[in-house]
């Protein structure tokens, strides 16, 4: 059943066994996993439209550290950010969960085997197809080929989970989706072990709705999960004492930056595209092959994890320059007019690339500009954190203030990753790497946005260095949980959604056990 919060009766109250804040990948995964369990599930989504839209005022915040937009990449609507998700999936590596003596605050309270057993079920939830065919690595390489899969419904047409699971959520008799309401507070009863009693929602018309449940799950994203807990601590002094100083700390992202171009011949460019590219499939799925730092290199050089891909852009031909001139209101040069006339007289020249894509085959660019784009894991830092600002949003909630910090180890990892790929390409006669001539490789003005918000309610065995325990339960509470990338103690280099789904399935299994005991 799907309900509009502003359309609820005068009582303004919803009751159930499990209340989930956030209708994105984590929240929908938990809800669909609990379908048929007999438990009444309340899934709360701030948006009202089936397709996501930017969160506008409710997501805006302040950035006081390395420049970032706290609202970037966050969307309202059933499906949350999956409505704009690229569908790119890869698991974390075993080294990502292990304690590393060269990465302070690293190590998960659960081991790789415990997480990996949930990746199989996560494939079905994400709609993934066969594994990406990754070329074999060579002993001694600093970097190795790495593959990503895409949860797609066609060539670069990605799944909205609001669409994928809409009918299941609407038809299951024990699931109630409440839309158009933002979480505005959690009522906590104190004691030796604190209990969450109810959740206060505020609708778009500023009505209040109360949600009463036996168990509560925060799955509203890496910034919003911390913001909700910080609001509890600030508005109800003495509550959540075990984690009062931990909430919001260790905030990380995946810094992404173009570090170099590749100078190569046409023959080398063709070989690069045939080996390291985004490969379509006639079945609608696709995969991408790039690079990743080997675990041996990370340990030897004391680096973080990292990955990279090559991007191929068309060279600025005369026809392209002419078209750009026309679009900007300028007059093309004679050579550009001739090139445009050639396409006008021979429109069939435009068709081969489109036809190749439609047939599920890779279309090669003849003389591309090849760029190297690097993604890195960040070192967890306690002072890279989320706190509350003094300003309020239109719903009366204090905004998030983000102090995102970049460590020297982050920059060192980018440099080593770039150098490793330069060697990889040179030894295989695939071109010469030309590094970007910049003073700061992670200058905020140059970074591309990944919108991966990680670590602000991290998982830990002790509340001294984390917020939730190995089951996702907030330390010192009996029935309050968090799920999503915010609970990840370290981020690896892989896009987090696949791991978010695995963690959500694991939490759903735990909730099913405790709620039916």
**Domain-located, residue 363:** no
**Domain-located, residue 364:** no
**Domain-located, residue 434:** yes
Q: Are 28 and 139 part of one and the same domain? A: yes
Residue 109, exposed/middle/buried by CB under 10 A (0-12, 13-18, 19+)? Answer: middle
Q: Are 268 and 334 part of one and the same domain? A: no
Distance from C-alpha of 97 to C-alpha of 154, rounded to nearest angstrom: 33
Strand 88-89 with 143-150, pairing: antiparallel
More confident residue, 454 or 361: 454
The band of 325, judged by pLDDT with boundaries at 50, 70 and 90, is low
**Domain-located, residue 130:** yes
Q: Are 346 and 394 part of one and the same domain? A: no
What separation in angstroms does the CA of 56 have from each of 61, 204, 495? Answer: 10, 12, 24
The number of folded domains in the chain is 2
Q: Are 151 and 268 part of one and the same domain? A: yes
Q: Mean pLDDT in the chain?
A: 87
Could you tell me the CATH number of the domain that includes residue 139? 3.50.50.60
Alpha carbons within 13 angstroms on the beta-carbon side of residue 121 total 19
Q: Are 174 and 242 part of one and the same domain? A: yes
Q: Are 215 and 353 part of one and the same domain? A: no
Tens of pLDDT along 398-428? 999 999 999 999 999 999 999 999 999 999 9
Determine the pLDDT at residue 287.
87
Q: Are 126 and 236 part of one and the same domain? A: yes
CA 4 to the chain's CA centroid: 27
- Concatenate the DSSP letters of all residues of 326-338 into one string: HHTTPPPPHHHHH
Tens of pLDDT along 113-171? 999 999 999 999 988 877 778 877 777 889 999 999 988 766 556 778 888 888 898 89
> What range defines the domain where residue 335 resides?
318-358
List helix spans (H) across 310-387: 318-327, 334-345, 351-358
Does 347 score more than 60 pLDDT?
no
Nearest to 126 by CA among 158, 156, 162, 151: 151
pTM beyond cutoff 0.95 = no
Q: Are 304 and 322 part of one and the same domain? A: no
Contacts of 73 (CB under 8 A, 6+ apart): 81, 84, 449, 450, 451
């Amino acid at each position: 059943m799907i309900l509009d919060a502003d359309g609820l009766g005068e009582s303004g109250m919803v009751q159930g066994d499990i209340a989930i804040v956030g209708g994105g990948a984590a929240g929908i995964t938990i809800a669909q996993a609990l379908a048929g369990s007999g438990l009444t599930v309340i899934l709360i989504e701030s948006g009202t439209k089936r397709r996501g839209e930017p969160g506008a005022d409710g997501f805006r915040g302040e950035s006081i550290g390395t420049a970032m937009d706290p609202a970037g990449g966050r969307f309202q609507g059933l499906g949350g950010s999956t409505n704009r998700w690229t569908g790119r999936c890869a698991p974390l590596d075993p080294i990502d969960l292990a304690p590393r003596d060269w990465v302070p605050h690293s190590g998960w309270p659960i081991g790789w085997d415990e997480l990996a057993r949930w990746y199989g079920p996560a494939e079905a939830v994400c709609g993934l197809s066969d594994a990406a065919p990754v070329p074999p690595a060579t002993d001694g390489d600093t970097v190795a080929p790495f593959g990503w899969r895409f949860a797609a419904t066609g060539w670069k047409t990605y799944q909205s989970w609001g669409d994928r699971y809409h009918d299941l959520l609407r038809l299951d008799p024990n699931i109630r989706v409440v839309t158009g309401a933002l979480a505005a507070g959690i009522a906590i009863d104190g004691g030796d072990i604190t209990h969450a009693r109810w959740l206060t929602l505020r609708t778009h018309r500023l009505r209040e709705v109360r949600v009463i449940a036996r168990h509560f799950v925060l799955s509203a994203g890496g910034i919003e999960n911390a913001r909700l807990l910080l609001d509890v601590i600030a508005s109800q002094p003495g509550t959540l004492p075990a984690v009062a100083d931990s909430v919001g700390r260790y905030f990380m992202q995946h810094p992404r930056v173009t570090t170099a171009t590749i100078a190569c011949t046409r023959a080398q460019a063709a070989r690069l595209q045939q080996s390291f590219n985004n490969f379509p499939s006639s079945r609608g799925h696709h995969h991408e092959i790039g690079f990743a730092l080997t675990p041996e290199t990370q340990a030897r050089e004391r680096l973080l994890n990292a990955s990279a891909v090559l991007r191929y852009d068309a060279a600025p031909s005369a026809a392209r320059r002419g078209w750009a001139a026309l679009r900007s209101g300028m007059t093309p040069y004679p050579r550009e007019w001739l090139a445009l006339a050639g396409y006008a007289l021979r429109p069939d020249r435009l068709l081969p690339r489109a036809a190749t894509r439609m047939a599920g085959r890779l279309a090669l660019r003849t003389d591309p500009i090849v760029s190297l784009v690097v993604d890195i894991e960040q070192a967890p830092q306690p002072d890279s954190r989320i706190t509350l600002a003094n300003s309020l949003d239109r719903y009366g909630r204090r905004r998030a203030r983000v102090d995102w910090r970049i460590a020297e180890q982050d920059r060192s990892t980018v440099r080593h990753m770039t150098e490793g790929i330069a060697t990889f390409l040179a030894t295989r006669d695939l071109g010469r790497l030309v590094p970007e001539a910049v003073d700061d490789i992670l200058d905020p003005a140059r970074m591309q946005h990944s919108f991966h918000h990680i670590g602000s309610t991290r998982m830990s065995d002790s509340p001294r260095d984390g917020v939730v325990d190995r089951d996702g339960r907030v330390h010192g509470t009996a029935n309050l949980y968090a799920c999503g990338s915010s609970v990840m103690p370290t981020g690896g280099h892989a896009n987090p959604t696949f791991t978010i789904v695995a963690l959500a399935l694991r939490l759903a299994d735990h909730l099913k056990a405790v709620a039916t005991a």
